[in-house]
Amino acid sequence: MEQVSVKSAAELLNVSEKTIYRWIRQGVIPAIKLQGQYRFDQRELEGWARHNRIGSPMSVIEGQEEAVSLYRAVQLGGIHYKIEGDSPGEIFTQVAELLPFSPRLSPTFKETLHTTLIEREALVSTGIGGGIALPHPRHPRDWGLGEPAVGVFFLDHPVDFHAIDGEPVFVLFVLLCATVAGHLQMLSRVSHLVNSPQTRAYLRAQPSRTDLLERIRHAFPQDV
Amino acid sequence: MRFRKMSDRPAVGMEAQRGARRMIHRTSAREAAVLTVLAVGVGLASGVSAVVLESAVHQVMQVMVAFQDRLWIVAVPAAGAALSSLFLHRLLKDTAGHGVPELIRSSTFGGGALRPDLIYSRLLSSFLTVGSGGSAGLEGPIATSGGAIGSTIARLFRLNERRRSLLLGYGVAGAVAAIFNAPLTGTVFALEVILGEWSALSILPTIIAAVSATQFSRLVMGNKIAFLHHVFSFSTLDLFACIVLGVAAGILSVLFQRGLRFTERSFATLPVPVWLRAGAGGLLVGMLGFQMPSVLHDGYLAIQQFLGGFSQFTLLGVGLFVLLKFAASLLTLGSGGSGGVFAPCLVLGSGLGYGFGQLMRAVFSTASLATPSAYALVGMAGLVAGVMHAPLTGMFLVLEVTDGYDLILPLMIVAVMAMLTSYFFEEGSVYTRELIDRGELARRGSDQHLLQTMDSRELVDKEDIVLHESMLLGEFVEIFKKAKRNVFPVVDSQTRRWEGVVYLDDIRPYLFDATLYSIMTIGSVLHTDLPTIDAGESALSAIQKFESSRAWSLPVIEDGKFLGMMSKSTLFDRYRRELIVHTPE
């Protein structure tokens, strides 16, 4: 018989010790008195808690900070050049083809991704101005990649994305994240990265893979 | 502001409070008076139904007894049970199952609503089953009829659910009182088994209903004591023996309950129509009856023999009788025949007691002991207490039907021991067990009952702020300035179809990040994995969803459309208020 003290019973039931003592006094909780101390039979206590729907402690959707790294995400998503196409739809077909695929991805990954990117674009353009767009799926979803991925796609020729400033887009950062928190952190990093006029000019020059990755690493030194 | 003033001057506040309490008290006293008057009518009506059924079955029994040595008599219970089942299931499409559990469910959960055809349907079907020889009682069906009469009268007067439930109970009291010629039993059965509530509103009118029903039946049928007996005296040794008898009665009760469930399940798996199952059960009962006719019908003749001390049975014979009666009752009730468990309990109890008394005589041959007949009497109370989990009903029933107050001590002991033993093995009674399994047993005023009666629509926080998927962070920040909450519902902008929620906690770090204002959509931070509460769901099932999801607020949905959020705090606040309203001072 596994025995539990008042203290651990309080932890188990997620109530204060005072509550446990009151329950003992009122005779509602099955307790045993051993050498002047109250003890509970663990199995009996658990059964009692289940019967009375008293929950065990569990954090209320605590936004656990995921350690995201744009550097790793871009490594995973890859940097791609000379993407052909005259509309966002055509370009997304290429994007879906070129993104990294692990065997864990579902067989309909490409179609699903393509559809959801277009749906998101239809809501509001992801073109943030200055020739840059940050396409991402309409809703966060677990793609099975294990970690967030950001694919960088330099277009063969600028394409109209109905961006806020009307400027045709020449580079895409496509974000694939499993969780809301991950998506927001990644989105925030990418938009800060491309926010400065210098970076935009630098991107227009289509830097090499290693060069771009280095620059990202320097921009977010705290990311591993 | 007025409120503030009142608390500033406590004397005036207390005066007002006392006035309010007096007023409420007078209202409830007036209600008790009105209900008591109504109870006279309910009692009379249920008394009529009891008398009619009782006399009809006894007419038929007279005829059957004359033919009990013919072989074809074996088929009669089969025909009766099959007809009874056809009548209930085909003609009336009745799904109310056993009568008494339905009464209990309705008086607590169903707001006292019962199909009006229950007034006669169970009378007819049990008349067919029991009249043709089925081993069951008429009391359950009569109680059902009485309950339905009370419920229907309440509907005629357009009474509210609370009063309808009470009138249902008065009807049961009247019916049981009339059939047993036992007003106290009727009262106690209604309070202990059906209403489960002891308050002025339940006790006073229930008594009056029992009085008027009993008096009516006495006018028509005469004031007959069902089982006359000699005066018995119980010695101290007898009282100790009663402890053992009580335990034995408890064990037999548990066997009866479990056996009944087993028989029900076994017949339910037969791949034939319902009425054929009842017929098959009836045929088996008929065969048992051919061997030993006294196991047929309600079996009150056997009780009279046990009590009168002119039973021919030896100890072995009694054992065989109890065994066959046990089997016949399970076959009748378990196969779908219509009837109650009251009579089988009394018969089995008297048989058990009689046998026990004989055994006592054999073992302690020199001591001066109560007669086997005396033990037969108290055995009846034991079975009623054990099977129905109703010790008071068992005691009063035996007291009244035997007109023997000298039995009170052994009755009390046996009833308590039987219920204690049976309660050890069975959580519910033969009536409440299936309700407990379905989660449909909640006594008035209990936590579960309160939660079950509150509807999710009552608990919705009317929502003025909803988000849409295409909203951008910039737009949200504007809305957020006016909002008081941390969870925002997201719905389709045209159809108001539910889509998910957005947690402020997710977005908080980015609220002032202007670079995201025109790129981050609400859709991309949507949580869709939250359980939703249907508008028709009760507060009880809402609480379960809060528990399992650990959320603080959940969306309420009606026909796919978002109605509003329900928050835990609103739920508990309303629950608290409900408790205050429903708990008597």
Q: Would you state the pLDDT for residue B228?
A: 67
For residues B270 and B281, the answer to whether their CB atoms sit within 8 Å is no
* Minimum mean pLDDT range among B15-24, B471-480, B529-538: B15-24
The residue among B246 and A72 whose pLDDT is bigger is: B246
Interface test with B, best of A119, A124, A185, A200 (most B CBs within 10 A): A124
Task: Say yes or no: A38 and A75 in one domain.
Answer: no
Interface A:B, Cβ pairs < 8 A:
75
**Which residues partner with B555 through β-bridges?**
B565
Q: Is B572 on the interface with A (CB under 8 A)?
A: no
* Minimum mean pLDDT range among A42-51, B192-201, B234-243: A42-51
**Which residues partner with B533 through β-bridges?**
B556
Q: Would you state the pLDDT for residue B11?
A: 55
Q: Which residues in chain A touch residue B503, judged by CB atoms under 8 angstroms apart?
A: 61, 63, 180
Residue contact B528–A164, C-beta within 8 A: no
Number of domains in chain A: 2
DSSP, collapsed to helix, strand or coil, labels residue B501 as strand
Task: Say yes or no: A17 and A94 in one domain.
Answer: no
Q: Would you state the pLDDT for residue B68?
A: 62
Q: Would you state the pLDDT for residue B187?
A: 96
Least Cα separation, residue A140 to chain B (angstroms) = 6
Q: Would you state the pLDDT for residue B72?
A: 67
Task: Say yes or no: A98 and A182 in one domain.
Answer: yes
Residue contact B518–A191, C-beta within 8 A: no
Torsion angles phi and psi, residue A5, rounded to 5: -85, 170
pLDDT at A61 over 50: no
In tens, the pLDDT along A92-136 reads 888 888 876 666 677 777 888 888 888 888 888 888 888 899 998
- Please tell me the distance from the alpha carbon of residue B231 to that of residue A91, in angstroms, as a whole number: 103
Residue contact A124–B543, C-beta within 8 A: no
How do strand A32-34 and strand A127-129 relate by DSSP bridges?
A: unpaired
- Report the alpha-carbon angle B11-B15-B17, nearest 5: 115
Q: Which residues in chain A touch residue B472, judged by CB atoms under 8 angstroms apart?
A: 124
- Cα of A72 vs its chain's centroid, Å: 14
Q: Would you state the pLDDT for residue B379?
A: 94
Share of chain B above pLDDT 90, in %: 26
Q: Would you state the pLDDT for residue B5?
A: 45
Sign of CA dihedral B210, B211, B214, B216: negative
CATH numbers and ranges of domains, chain B? 16-221 (1.10.3080.10), 236-437 (1.10.3080.10), 447-582 (3.10.580.10)
Task: Say yes or no: A84 and A170 in one domain.
Answer: yes
Residue contact A191–B525, C-beta within 8 A: no
Instruction: Quickly state the pLDDT bin for B94 (edges 50, 70, 90).
Output: low
Q: Which residues in chain B touch residue A169, judged by CB atoms under 8 angstroms apart?
A: none
In tens, the pLDDT along B116-175 reads 888 888 888 888 888 888 888 888 889 999 999 999 999 998 888 888 999 999 999 999
Q: Would you state the pLDDT for residue A107?
A: 73
How do strand B498-503 and strand A3-5 relate by DSSP bridges?
A: unpaired
Provide mean pLDDT across the span B317-331: 89
Sign of CA dihedral A25, A26, A27, A30: negative
Torsion angles phi and psi, residue B177, rounded to 5: -60, -45
Q: Is A114 a catalytic residue?
A: no
Instruction: Quickly state the pLDDT bin for B97 (edges 50, 70, 90).
Output: low
For residues B351 and B378, the answer to whether their CB atoms sit within 8 Å is no
Task: Say yes or no: A212 and A102 in one domain.
Answer: yes
pLDDT at B6 over 80: no
User: In terms of residue numbers, what domain contains A135?
Assistant: 70-219
Residue contact A58–B469, C-beta within 8 A: no
How high is the mean pLDDT of chain B?
Answer: 84
Task: Say yes or no: A47 and A142 in one domain.
Answer: no
Task: Say yes or no: A45 and A136 in one domain.
Answer: no
A211 within a domain of the structure (yes/no): yes
Give B32's contacts (C-beta < 8 A, 6+ positions apart).
Answer: B200, B201, B204, B205
Q: Would you state the pLDDT for residue A103?
A: 62
Taking residue A25's Cβ as centre, other Cβ atoms within 10 Å add up to 10
pLDDT at B392 over 80: yes
In tens, the pLDDT along B333-353 reads 888 888 888 899 999 999 999
Q: Which residues in chain A touch residue B519, judged by CB atoms under 8 angstroms apart?
A: 126, 128, 134, 187, 191
A60 within a domain of the structure (yes/no): no
A33 within a domain of the structure (yes/no): yes
Among B476, B423, B455, B387, CA closest to B193: B387
Q: Is B472 on the interface with A (CB under 8 A)?
A: yes
Q: Would you state the pLDDT for residue B4?
A: 47
DSSP, collapsed to helix, strand or coil, labels residue B257 as helix
A63 within a domain of the structure (yes/no): no
For residues B232 and B374, the answer to whether their CB atoms sit within 8 Å is yes
A39 within a domain of the structure (yes/no): yes
Q: Would you state the pLDDT for residue B65?
A: 65
Provide mean pLDDT across the span B246-256: 96
pLDDT at B2 over 70: no
**Which residues partner with A129 through β-bridges?**
A132
* Minimum mean pLDDT range among B345-359, B455-469, B490-504: B455-469
ipTM over 0.85: no
Least Cα separation, residue B545 to chain A (angstroms) = 11
Residue where the block lists tokens 């439930």: B165
- Please tell me the distance from the alpha carbon of residue A51 to that of residue B439, in angstroms, as a whole number: 13
The span from the first CA to the last CA of chain A, in angstroms, equals 48
Instruction: Quickly state the pLDDT bin for B421 (edges 50, 70, 90).
Output: very high
Task: Say yes or no: A107 and A207 in one domain.
Answer: yes
Task: Say yes or no: A42 and A96 in one domain.
Answer: no
Task: Say yes or no: A74 and A154 in one domain.
Answer: yes
Q: Would you call B578 exposed, middle or buried from its count of C-beta atoms within 10 A (0-12, 13-18, 19+)?
A: middle
Nearest-by-Cβ selection for B524 from A63, A139, A188: A139
Q: Which is the catalytic residue, given A51, A136, A157, A218?
A: A136
pLDDT at A70 over 80: yes
| Count, residues in chain A | 224
Least Cα separation, residue A63 to chain B (angstroms) = 7
The amino acid occupying position A75 is Q
For residue B527, what is the DSSP state? Answer: B
Q: Would you state the pLDDT for residue B585?
A: 44
- Please tell me the distance from the alpha carbon of residue B386 to that of residue B221, in angstroms, as a whole number: 31
- Please tell me the distance from the alpha carbon of residue B53 to that of residue B217, in angstroms, as a whole number: 12
In tens, the pLDDT along A153-181 reads 999 889 988 887 888 999 999 998 888 88
- Cα of B163 vs its chain's centroid, Å: 17
For residue B455, what is the DSSP state? Answer: B
Q: Would you state the pLDDT for residue A59?
A: 37
A56 within a domain of the structure (yes/no): no
A153 within a domain of the structure (yes/no): yes
A172 within a domain of the structure (yes/no): yes
Provide mean pLDDT across the span B237-259: 94
pLDDT at B66 over 80: no
How high is the mean pLDDT of chain A?
Answer: 83
CATH code of residue A184: 3.40.930.10
pLDDT at B584 over 60: no
For residues B360 and B369, the answer to whether their CB atoms sit within 8 Å is yes
- Please tell me the distance from the alpha carbon of residue B24 to that of residue B16, in angstroms, as a whole number: 12
Task: Say yes or no: A82 and A184 in one domain.
Answer: yes
Q: How far is CA B258 from CA B104, B134, B164, B334, in A?
A: 20, 20, 33, 11
Q: Token digits for B524?
A: 């991309």
- Which residues of chain A are at the B interface, by a Cβ-Cβ cutoff of 8 Å? 53, 55, 58, 60-61, 63, 120, 123-124, 126, 128, 134, 136-140, 164, 180-181, 183-184, 187-188, 191-192, 195
- Cα of B32 vs its chain's centroid, Å: 23
Residue contact B521–A120, C-beta within 8 A: yes
- Report the alpha-carbon angle B581-B584-B585, nearest 5: 110
Residue contact B519–A134, C-beta within 8 A: yes
Give A23's contacts (C-beta < 8 A, 6+ positions apart).
Answer: A29
Q: How far is CA A133 from CA A124, A171, A172, B382, in A?
A: 12, 7, 5, 83
Instruction: Quickly state the pLDDT bin for B201 (edges 50, 70, 90).
Output: confident
pLDDT at A72 over 70: yes
Least Cα separation, residue A16 to chain B (angstroms) = 18
Provide mean pLDDT across the span B188-197: 91
- Please tell me the distance from the alpha carbon of residue B3 to that of residue A223, in angstroms, as a whole number: 60
Q: Token digits for B566?
A: 């329900």
Task: Say yes or no: A37 and A83 in one domain.
Answer: no
Residue contact B547–A55, C-beta within 8 A: yes
Share of chain A above pLDDT 70, in %: 91
Q: Return the HEC string of chain A.
A: CCEEEHHHHHHHHCCCHHHHHHHHHHCCCCCEEECCEEEEEHHHHHHHHHHCCCCCCCCCCCCCCCCCCHHHHHHHHCEEEEECCCCHHHHHHHHHHHCCCCCCCCCCHHHHHHHHHHHHHHHCCCEEECCEECCCCCCCCCCCCCCCEEEEEEEEEEECCCCCCCCCEEEEEEEECCCHHHHHHHHHHHHHHCCCHHHHHHHHCCCCHHHHHHHHHHHCCCCC
CATH code of residue A23: 1.10.1660.10
**Closest B-chain CA to A140:** B524
Burial readout A140-172 (b: 16 or more C-beta within 10 A, e: otherwise)? bbebebebbbbbbbbbeeebebebeeeeebbbb
Sign of CA dihedral B313, B319, B321, B322: positive
